[in-house]
């Protein structure tokens, strides 16, 4: 159905692994090596089930390596490895599928626990619209002493992902924040934790009819987190978070006729009869739930929500996503979502891999499998060859070749920028 713009700004963010890279979480090319590191840590921690899942996946990696003699496959790239696994016959794939999900979630958990938090951003609160009396507990209000004892006293050191989320959604200022949707292919919880810390309500895109409650017995989702609001009752300032490949805090119970999805506020190590609800980035979508079958993908409402978001977007911002050729669903999502969009004004692609002739050419060639030349050359598409810290956190740096802070925070125009060195 054709969506007529109503004047409301709607920014849709498409997040890939690059969004989480600053936290130390591995990109696709480094995931297998991080998995090998995680194996030893998990064994020492007594988490034998998780370690065994990684070892089984590594055995499969060894077995599939022989295909590299004749086929263009990179066994050390997690996307290639999982795509090969998805092509296995259904009977032999079932246990491998479970090991894949367990290994991915355990590796993310290991990486977060073993990697120091990245450096925060120094913010002068007087130059924002944030009241120091309503700061998240994670913001360090003694920051001015650590940054500059003689500097501004009303300064906080803001955790980096809290800052990114606040800056991207214009929550450093009190203005018309517009409508925001995050379509994310990441399994981690960086986005949710920051939204929760900032007091921004969010919805995973499930309706009240899908969530089990005292008044709703026919749902198939058990929601154990207060910050996941049903999409049909969300307040105007609620941010939509569509996790297209699942999440480490979701698990699927298969012991009943109609499987249930359990949503928790953090990664749950002891799933028991449940398995992590994670869908690897492959051409084959076998994830099962009440919303789908073994072959059609499950939880199809996520895809319909993403398509609707793209059809009403006035701005699309791609951050750290590589447009992998193994995920054909993304191509379909854009084809269907954009065909009825008549209000799109900008398509930003933020990725440091664009900063290099060969890597940029490779990146754009993958985009051209989805978008035609007319769109690519329309003037809507803008390539930003830097990471988020450069385009947002260095806004006050006159040497910074790219500054998108005012793009996302229009209320900052004409005001002193709030940044202080740290």
Of the candidates 42, 69, 67, the residue with the CA atom closest to the CA atom of residue 54:
42
What percent of the chain clears pLDDT 90, i.e. is strictly above it?
42
What percent of the chain clears pLDDT 70, i.e. is strictly above it?
85
Q: Give the residue extent of every domain in the chain.
A: 10-25+123-420, 28-114
- For 369, residues 6+ apart whose C-beta sits below 8 A from its C-beta are 323, 325, 331
Tokens of 148: 């500059």
Least confident range from 30-34, 74-78, 341-345: namely 74-78
Instruction: For 186-196, write each residue's pLDDT tens digit.
Output: 999 999 999 99
| Average pLDDT, integer, range 306-335 | 90
- Confidence at 293, pLDDT banded by 50, 70, 90: very low
What's the chain's average pLDDT?
83
Of the candidates 200, 206, 246, the residue with the CA atom closest to the CA atom of residue 227:
200
- With beta carbons less than 8 A apart as the criterion, state whether 384 and 349 touch: yes
Q: Tell me, what's the pLDDT at 290?
A: 44
Tokens of 55: 């070892």
Q: Is 233 exposed, middle or buried (0-12, 13-18, 19+ CB in 10 A)?
A: exposed
Please tell me which residue, 28 or 16, carries the higher pLDDT value.
16
Q: pTM of whole model > 0.85?
A: yes
Interatomic CA distance for residues 68 and 175, integer angstroms: 54
- Confidence at 289, pLDDT banded by 50, 70, 90: very low
If residue 64 lies in a helix (H) or strand (E), which one and from where to where? helix 48-64
346 SS3 class: strand
Instruction: For 344-384, write each residue's pLDDT tens digit.
Output: 999 999 999 998 889 999 999 999 999 999 999 999 999 99
Please tell me which residue, 228 or 311, carries the higher pLDDT value.
311
| Average pLDDT, integer, range 202-230 | 77
Q: Tell me, what's the pLDDT at 92?
A: 65
Q: Is the pLDDT of residue 74 over 70?
A: yes
Interatomic CA distance for residues 348 and 402, integer angstroms: 13
Helices (H), 258-327: 300-312
Q: Tell me, what's the pLDDT at 70?
A: 78
* CB atoms inside a 10 Å sphere around CB 398: 6
| Average pLDDT, integer, range 76-84 | 76
* CB atoms inside a 10 Å sphere around CB 401: 11
Phi and psi at residue 210, to the nearest 5°: -85, -20
Q: Is 292 exposed, middle or buried (0-12, 13-18, 19+ CB in 10 A)?
A: middle
Q: Tell me, what's the pLDDT at 367?
A: 94
Please tell me which residue, 272 or 185, carries the higher pLDDT value.
185
Q: Which residue has the tokens 């988020």?
A: 388
Q: Tell me, what's the pLDDT at 194?
A: 96
User: Looking at the DSSP assignment, which residues form a beta bridge with residue 181?
Assistant: 12, 240
Q: How many CA atoms, within 13 angstroms, populate the side-chain half-sphere of residue 129?
A: 15
Tokens of 225: 């987190």
Tokens of 89: 């016959």
**What does the DSSP 8-state code read for residue 279?**
-
Q: Tell me, what's the pLDDT at 287?
A: 47
């Amino acid at each position: 159905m054709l969506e007529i713009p109503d004047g409301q700004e709607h920014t849709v963010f498409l997040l890939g692994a690059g969004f989480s890279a600053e936290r130390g979480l591995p990109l696709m090319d480094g995931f297998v090596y991080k998995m090998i590191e995680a194996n030893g840590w998990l064994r020492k921690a007594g988490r034998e089930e998780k370690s065994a899942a990684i070892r089984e996946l590594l055995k499969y990696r060894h077995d599939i390596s022989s295909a590299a003699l004749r086929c263009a496959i990179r066994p050390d790239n997690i996307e290639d490895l999982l795509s090969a696994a998805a092509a296995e016959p259904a009977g032999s794939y079932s246990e491998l599928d479970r090991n894949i999900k367990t290994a991915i979630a355990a590796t993310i958990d290991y990486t977060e626990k073993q990697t120091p938090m990245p450096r925060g951003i120094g913010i002068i609160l007087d130059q924002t619209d944030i009241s120091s009396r309503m700061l998240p507990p994670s913001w360090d209000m003694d920051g001015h002493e650590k940054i500059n004892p003689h500097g501004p006293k009303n300064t906080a050191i803001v955790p980096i992902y809290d800052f990114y989320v606040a800056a991207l959604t214009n929550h450093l200022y009190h203005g018309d924040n517009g409508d925001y949707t995050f379509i994310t292919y990441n399994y981690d919880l960086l986005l949710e934790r920051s939204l929760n810390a900032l007091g921004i309500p969010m919805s995973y895109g499930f309706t009240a009819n899908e969530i089990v409650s005292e008044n709703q017995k026919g749902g198939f989702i058990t929601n154990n987190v207060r910050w996941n609001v049903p999409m049909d009752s969300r307040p105007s300032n609620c941010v939509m978070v569509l996790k297209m490949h699942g999440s480490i805090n979701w698990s699927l119970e298969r012991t009943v006729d109609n499987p249930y999805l359990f949503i928790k506020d953090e990664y749950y190590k002891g799933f028991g009869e449940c398995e992590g609800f994670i869908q690897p980035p492959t051409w084959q979508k076998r994830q099962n739930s009440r919303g789908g079958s073994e072959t059609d993908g499950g939880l199809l409402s996520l895809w319909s929500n993403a398509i609707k978001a793209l059809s009403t977007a006035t701005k699309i911002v791609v951050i750290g996503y590589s447009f992998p050729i193994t995920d054909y669903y993304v191509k379909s999502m854009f084809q269907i979502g954009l065909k009825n969009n008549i209000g799109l004004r900008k398509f930003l692609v933020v990725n440091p891999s664009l900063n290099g002739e060969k890597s940029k050419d490779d990146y754009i060639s993958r985009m051209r499998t989805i978008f035609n030349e007319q769109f690519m050359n329309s003037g809507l598409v803008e390539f930003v060859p830097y990471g988020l810290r450069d385009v947002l956190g260095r806004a006050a740096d006159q040497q910074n070749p790219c500054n998108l802070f005012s793009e996302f925070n229009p209320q900052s125009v004409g005001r002193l920028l709030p940044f202080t060195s740290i």
